[in-house]
Amino acid sequence: MIERGKSWEELAVEFETDDQEFKFDNKKDRWDLVPIKSMTAVVKVLSFGATKYSDNSWKKVNNFDERYYASLMRHLAAWRRGEKIDEESGLPHLAHAATCCFFLLWNHLK
């Protein structure tokens, strides 16, 4: 049983055994929670865009927020109409929409 008030170092010493080591990552970002299939779909959209235009050209778009918001909404509207796949790329509209959200978020976090 874990006692309240003990430091991680005290707990590690208390619970350490020859066949088990501790990793103090409980306060680190949980990348294992990211749905890998969804992230892979976004990477495919990014790869398609890099081939069509150039690597990271999305960062240089004028009227950034307006253009990516419009693109996001076009892809969401197409998906909402029942179109699952973007005709040009052959990739899911939702993957394109998620990519636009990543772009918008990137722009606001910088």
User: How confident is the model at residue 16, as a pLDDT?
Assistant: 53
pTM of the full predicted structure?
Answer: 0.77
The ranges assigned to domains in the chain are 32-109
pLDDT in tens, 37-47: 999 999 999 99
In this predicted structure, the answer to whether residue 3 has a pLDDT above a threshold of 90 is no
CB atoms within 10 A of CB 93: 21
| pLDDT, tens digit, 9 for 90 and up, residues 7-37 | 766 665 555 555 566 777 788 999 999 999 9
Q: Where are the alpha helices (DSSP H) in 53-90?
A: 64-80
Maximal C-alpha separation, the chain? 60
**pLDDT reported for residue 23:** 73
